[in-house]
Structure 1
Amino acid sequence: MADSAPLLSVRDLDVTFATRHGPVRAVDSLSFDVRPGRTLGIVGESGSGKSVTSLAVMGLHTGARVTGSVTLDGRELIGLGERELNTLRGRRMAMIFQDPLSSLHPYYTVGEQIAEHHRVHFRSRRAAARERAVEALAEVGIPEPRRRAGEYPHQFSGGMRQRVMIAMALVCEPDLLIADEPTTALDVTVQAQILELIARLQQERGLSVVMITHDLGVVARVAHDVLVMYGGRAVEHAPVDALFAAPAHPYTQGLLDSLPRLDDPDDAPLRAIPGSPPSLLDPSPGCAFAPRCPRAAVGPAEERARCTTERPSLGGPDGHPAACHFPAYEGVAP
């Protein structure tokens, strides 16, 4: 499966927003692939460009300049008109948004909203589309799906609303599912149920999944490959086992160190990465992480100068590149 052609291929993606203070390059020269049946986890702090990337793939940016290449099963999406994109959204690629309550229309029943997707893409009759909506609710574990299809979003709990969003995304059986922080507002038990549901549907349907999250626990549970973003750029890309076992970039190491550990004392303070994310209005000419990087802080003067003046490119061993001048690959001193 890993050697198959990618379903989604992103190359040199740039997303720039014009603001009154100047241009903001929210995504900078980003490249990655997602292969059939695989899950790519995209992780990073708020403002790292994760959600901006997903919206660019879906063609949902209206006030931004998007350049580069995004291909879905070989078809270029950048530059497509709205009508052409609408034939792909929902049918070939679908997205689960972070807040299901704001994504669902309060004046229509959940069954009507799911059925509308089926009617638009398959031109099915109203009764057939409603029956498919009931089946979709049953597939995602909604009890009494026929009755619940006639209810409104406010009558569902947060976890159930997220299941409705998954049903809506998958009712037309797309090839690619983008999940943007799908478990952020849910408690741990419901979060586990939603992740298990996505994994089960992926296995049954051979879905390709892009899981966008700041939670490394979610990544460890569901992803095959991980893309770490910082300041709008990719800083590390690796199979999930390799990344957790031997992170090469100091930012990735910082994220892992921030996780609570079972062997920590009860009164141990949480570990955090010092400093703040970089300003995208005035980007540094060097490594964006250098002001917060413990390696740059203790290195020789010439190394510190390189980190602050020369931007590192994404490179390194095949299958585990990192954008760092002094990466900590296993067996190699940082």
Structure 2
Amino acid sequence: MAAVLSVRDLSVSFPTPRGPVRAVDALSFDVPRGRTLGIVGESGSGKSVTSLAVMGLHSGAEVTGSVTLDGRELVGLPERELNRLRGRRMAMIFQDPLSSLHPYYTVGEQIAEHHRVHYGSGRRAARERAVEALAEVGIPEPRRRAGEYPHQFSGGMRQRVMIAMALVCEPDLLIADEPTTALDVTVQAQILELLARIQEQRGLAVVMITHDLGVVARVAHDVLVMYGGRAAEQAPVDALFAAPAHPYTRGLLDSLPRLDDPDDLPLRAIPGSPPSLLSPAPGCAFAPRCPRAAAAPEEERARCEAERPVLHGPDGHPTACHFPAYEGVTP
């Protein structure tokens, strides 16, 4: 299946007074049409930096590697060309809709402007398209609500407005950066169902960035687990949840609360802290927190600390671990 988005060896570095910080390091993945890639990991793992690099929204950062949209290279593309693609061919839903919407303009005006910029439509036609977009995302009385301001909408409704704005020009790629983090579980479910319905109708390629593995299990077809700016594991969602091969992925899954746990059982957590991206260790970034490395013989532990693992393993389920625990294999 041809990929709408193809990323190869993407690296993003930010200059600081103490030296460059490599927030994303040699990352590669594909997103075919009609599929959802879930990117998961702790805060600081490089998820949002990756999405902004795909959209070409980094200023002052060094971005290397290749990002192609339907075969067109985006890295190094002039800003004017990127502006023609952003919103029209690829769109992004940001984590906080209130800070992404202008408080002085009605939501209808903001969506309509988006349509006018890319299609050159008149004000009346763009306004009608904005009303249609609000109706498509399930906002009641869309004509009336189009004349209201962002502060007059609830959090869930503002997120629907952001989705309408992102999809009004019918892009091929949608990036959703933590779109349900600030929402209660009922509204979260409605937003996820909405995105799934629109994806099915339009054949969208979707990148869902989240730290919530429950969201990933619900909407993703494939999963990319990131740690320290690198890919730790990639797999179809069913395979990853059934048999995680990387100890970090296992740690994330074990930290989820379970209905059959006793009430007084404390929440499980991965010990330690994420690695420094300013001076990364030469070996596996997860080694200082890895229970598998801690229990391994001295020779294996030394390898984890000194040699950086690369993605390897069965087709469709590579893992960046020297001693992955694939199903049926004892670590």
Q: TM-score, normalised by structure 1?
A: 0.99
Instruction: Please list the CA deviations of residues 98-157 of structure 1 after superposition, one character each: whole Å capped at 9, or x if unmatched.
Output: 000000000000000000010000000000000000000000000100000000000000
Is there any run of 5+ residues in structure 2 with no aligned partner, and where? none
Q: In structure 2, what residue type is equivalent to 1:182? A: P
Q: 1:238-249, aligned counterparts within 5 Å?
A: 238-249=235-246
Counterpart of 2:38 in structure 1 is 41
Residues in 2 aligned to 1:268 and 1:217: alpha-carbon distance in whole angstroms: 20
Residues in 2 aligned to 1:27 and 1:128: alpha-carbon distance in whole angstroms: 42
Q: Secondary structure at the match of 2:75?
A: coil
Counterpart of 1:110 in structure 2 is 107
Q: In structure 2, what residue type is equivalent to 1:22? A: G
Is there any run of 5+ residues in structure 1 with no aligned partner, and where? none
Find the partner of 1:308 among 292, 305, 309: 305
Residues in 1 aligned to 2:306 and 2:175: alpha-carbon distance in whole angstroms: 36
Q: 1:42-61, aligned counterparts within 5 Å?
A: 42-61=39-58
Find the partner of 1:146 among 136, 143, 146: 143
Q: 1:271-282, aligned counterparts within 5 Å?
A: 271-282=268-279
Counterpart of 2:220 in structure 1 is 223
Residues in 2 aligned to 1:333 and 1:232: alpha-carbon distance in whole angstroms: 28
Find the partner of 1:204 among 175, 193, 201: 201
Q: In structure 1, what residue type is equivalent to 2:15? A: A
Find the partner of 1:29 among 6, 26, 30: 26
* 1:135 matched to 2:126: no
Find the partner of 2:326 among 324, 329, 334: 329
Q: Secondary structure at the match of 2:15?
A: strand
Q: 1:144-223, aligned counterparts within 5 Å?
A: 144-223=141-220
Residues in 1 aligned to 2:263 and 2:129: alpha-carbon distance in whole angstroms: 50
Residues in 1 aligned to 2:47 and 2:291: alpha-carbon distance in whole angstroms: 24
Q: Secondary structure at the match of 2:310?
A: coil
Instruction: Please list the CA deviations of residues 4-40 of structure 1 after superposition, one character each: whole Å capped at 9, or x if unmatched.
Output: 1111000000000001111000000000000000000
Instruction: Please list the CA deviations of residues 71-119 of structure 1 after superposition, one character each: whole Å capped at 9, or x if unmatched.
Output: 0000000000111001100110000000000000000000000000100
Instruction: Please list the CA deviations of residues 201-244 of structure 1 after superposition, one character each: whole Å capped at 9, or x if unmatched.
Output: 00011111000000000000000000000000000000000000
Residues in 2 aligned to 1:161 and 1:49: alpha-carbon distance in whole angstroms: 26
Residues in 1 aligned to 2:16 and 2:162: alpha-carbon distance in whole angstroms: 32
The alignment's C-alpha RMSD in Å is 0.4
Residues in 1 aligned to 2:162 and 2:137: alpha-carbon distance in whole angstroms: 10
Residues in 1 aligned to 2:182 and 2:13: alpha-carbon distance in whole angstroms: 29
Identity within the alignment, %:
88
Residues in 1 aligned to 2:39 and 2:264: alpha-carbon distance in whole angstroms: 31
Residues in 2 aligned to 1:293 and 1:325: alpha-carbon distance in whole angstroms: 12
Q: In structure 1, what residue type is equivalent to 2:238? A: D
Residues in 2 aligned to 1:333 and 1:308: alpha-carbon distance in whole angstroms: 21
Residues in 2 aligned to 1:166 and 1:91: alpha-carbon distance in whole angstroms: 14
Counterpart of 1:11 in structure 2 is 8
Residues in 2 aligned to 1:80 and 1:51: alpha-carbon distance in whole angstroms: 20
Instruction: Please list the CA deviations of residues 240-271 of structure 1 after superposition, one character each: whole Å capped at 9, or x if unmatched.
Output: 00000000000000000000011101111100
Q: In structure 1, what residue type is equivalent to 2:28? A: S
Q: In structure 2, what residue type is equivalent to 1:326? A: F
Q: How many residues align?
A: 331
Q: Runs of at least 4 residues of structure 1 off by over 3 A?
A: none
Kindly state the Cα deviation for residue 63 of structure 1 after the two structures are TM-superposed. 1.4
* 1:291 matched to 2:291: no
Residues in 1 aligned to 2:300 and 2:119: alpha-carbon distance in whole angstroms: 59
